[in-house]
């Protein structure tokens, strides 16, 4: 299959899997009502989803090169279909938990496979900004589908029947047209893997993934509480602001390639990290939502920039393992940083939103050290 068609398949798959991921949050109240569970108990769902993603990333990173990209992707899609069927037919909360865990496993394995396959395309076909913008597009479409179904009083599980149809279509396309080649490399032994992780270029970049993603998820997760509880915005207005955030965020990711060409990948990370710190400070001082949109734009190009920089300079043999570790690092960041912001926010959300000052200051320092580090030969 032509590389252009492979790239289109990867973008489409990212969008559809993002739609599934981003359908859970707007359905939380429906799940709570249907199965009579509290907010505290239902909060286990995003944790279970993240856990599933991390497990597939960390374990899969050691086997993907040996199994082959296409085989690994088909396995992940099979898990996705089983998870969607389980969710769509769930008769109790335990089955919902099981479905969310399976979907987390599938999403983590799929994203790491697609990113690794994308990195094998010729560089003129690579646009990591748009690759990540595809996730943002799914983040916009998914909640809109949920809103439409709930408006017409359809059972919330019907949403997952729609996702199931799309998932089956992708599965059939993958089997018949083979858009992803079954790329294989010599398996990476544990001792070699430890040696790779100990290289400064690798662990410094993984730290950026961890700090960035944990802070991004924390900022987004607790934004409704910040606007409603601290800034006294209504719930309806807060929801609109978050939607605007995603639009700006997705736009920023779509133009990341342009920014990288003007500033370089590491330059983009540096300048937009500074912009993030300034934007958060202005948001807390003036309590005006416009600065929240600046935060969204500041966040948007950082992840694809570090992803592009590392994937285009690391040896192709270790890309599967590296991307598994990178996505796994994002889960660790979410658990540590986003959770910490929530715990501190229970006391004072202004203090919670000061955490990005620390995490992004650390990122600026790490980014500088990464710039001084010798890039491994491809």
- The Cα–Cα gap between 367 and 190 comes to 28
3-177 shares its CATH topology with 190-372 = yes
Show Cβ contacts of residue 233 under 8 Å, excluding neighbours closer than 6 positions. 227, 241, 289
pLDDT tens sequence across 308-322: 999 999 998 899 899
Question: Given this structure, which CATH class describes domain 3-177?
Answer: mainly alpha
| pLDDT at position 378 | 47
Q: Angle at CA 180, nearest 5°, toward 176 and 186?
A: 125
Long-range Cβ pairs for the range 3-11 (8 Å, 24+): 3/121, 3/122, 3/125, 4/125, 5/179, 6/117, 6/121, 6/179, 6/180, 7/118, 7/121, 7/125, 9/173, 9/179, 9/180, 10/114, 10/117, 10/118, 10/131, 10/179, 11/130, 11/131, 11/134
Q: Give the pLDDT band of residue 342 (cuts 50, 70, 90).
A: confident
Task: Average the pLDDT over each of 59-73, 77-91, 142-156, 358-372 and give the range with the smallest value.
Answer: 142-156
The DSSP letter of residue 65 is: H
CA neighbor of 97 nearest in space, from 31, 39, 34: 31
**Residue 1 above 60 pLDDT?**
yes
DSSP readout, 287-316?
--THHHHHHHHHHTTHHHHHHHHHHTTS-G
Instruction: Tell which residue, 181, 128, 186, has the closest CA to residue 321.
Output: 186
Whole-number pLDDT of residue 376: 61
pLDDT (average), residues 358-374: 93
This prediction has a pTM of 0.83
Can you tell me the mean pLDDT for 63-84? 94
76-80, 95-99, 321-325: least confident range: 321-325
Superfamily for the 190-372 domain? MFS general substrate transporter like domains (1.20.1250.20)
Residue 224 has pLDDT above 80, yes or no: no
Find, among 195, 138, 178, the residue nearest to 13 by Cα: 138
Q: What is the pLDDT of residue 149?
A: 85
pLDDT tens-place string over residues 5-45: 999 999 999 999 999 988 887 787 788 889 998 867 877 88
User: Using an 8 Å Cβ cutoff, are 220 and 242 in contact?
Assistant: yes
Integer Cα distance of 228 and 237 in angstroms: 9
Q: Determine the average pLDDT of the residues in 133-158.
A: 85
Helix (H, G, I), strand (E, B) or coil at 231: coil
Is the Cβ–Cβ distance between 315 and 376 less than 8 Å? yes
Instruction: Write out pLDDT tens, residues 51-61.
Output: 999 999 888 88
Inter-residue contact 308 to 38 (CB < 8 Å): no
Domain boundaries, the chain: 3-177, 190-372
Positive or negative: CA dihedral 260, 265, 270, 272: positive
Helices and strands in the chain: count of H runs, count of E runs:
21, 0
- For 99-120, what is the mean pLDDT? 94
Kindly report, residue by residue over 244-254, the tens digit of the pLDDT: 888 899 999 99
Q: Which residue has the higher pLDDT, 24 or 278?
A: 278
* Nearest Cα residue to 298 out of 270, 329, 257: 270
CB 7 within 8 A of CB 118: yes
CA dist 225 and 275 (Å) reads: 23
Q: What pLDDT is stored for residue 365 in this prediction?
A: 97
């Amino acid at each position: 299959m032509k590389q252009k068609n492979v790239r289109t398949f990867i973008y489409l798959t990212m969008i559809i899997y993002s739609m599934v991921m981003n359908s859970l949050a707007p359905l939380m109240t429906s799940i709570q009502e249907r199965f009579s569970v509290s907010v505290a108990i239902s909060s286990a769902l995003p944790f279970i989803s993240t856990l599933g993603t991390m497990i597939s990333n960390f374990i899969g990173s050691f086997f993907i090169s040996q199994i082959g990209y296409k085989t690994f992707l088909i396995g992940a899609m099979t898990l996705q279909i089983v998870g969607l069927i389980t969710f769509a037919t769930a008769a109790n909360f335990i089955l919902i938990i099981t479905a969310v865990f399976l979907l987390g496993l599938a999403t983590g394995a799929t994203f790491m496979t697609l990113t690794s396959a994308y990195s094998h395309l010729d560089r003129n076909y690579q646009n990591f900004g748009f690759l990540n913008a595809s996730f943002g597009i799914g983040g916009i479409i998914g909640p809109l589908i949920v809103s439409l179904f709930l408006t017409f009083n359809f059972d919330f599980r019907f949403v997952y029947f729609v996702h199931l149809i799309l998932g089956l279509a992708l599965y059939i396309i993958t089997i018949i047209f083979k858009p992803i080649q079954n790329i294989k490399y010599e398996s990476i032994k544990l001792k070699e893997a430890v040696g790779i992780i100990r290289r400064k270029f690798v662990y410094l970049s993984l730290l950026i993934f961890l700090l960035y993603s944990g802070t991004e998820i924390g900022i987004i997760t607790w934004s409704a509480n910040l606007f409603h509880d601290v800034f006294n915005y209504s719930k309806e207005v807060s929801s609109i602001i978050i939607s605007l955030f995603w639009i700006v965020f997705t736009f920023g990711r779509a133009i990341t390639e342009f920014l990288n060409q003007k500033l370089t990948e590491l330059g983009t990370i540096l300048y937009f990290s500074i912009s993030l710190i300034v934007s958060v400070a202005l948001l807390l001082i003036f309590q005006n939502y416009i600065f929240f949109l600046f935060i969204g734009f500041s966040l948007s190009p950082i992840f694809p920039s570090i992803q592009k920089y590392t994937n285009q300079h690391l040896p192709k043999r270790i890309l599967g393992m590296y991307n598994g570790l990178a996505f796994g690092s994002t889960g660790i960041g979410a658990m540590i940083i986003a959770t910490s912001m929530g715990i501190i926010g229970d006391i004072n959300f202004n203090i919670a939103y000061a955490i990005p000052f620390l995490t992004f200051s650390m990122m600026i320092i790490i980014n500088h050290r990464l710039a001084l580090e010798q890039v491994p030969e491809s």
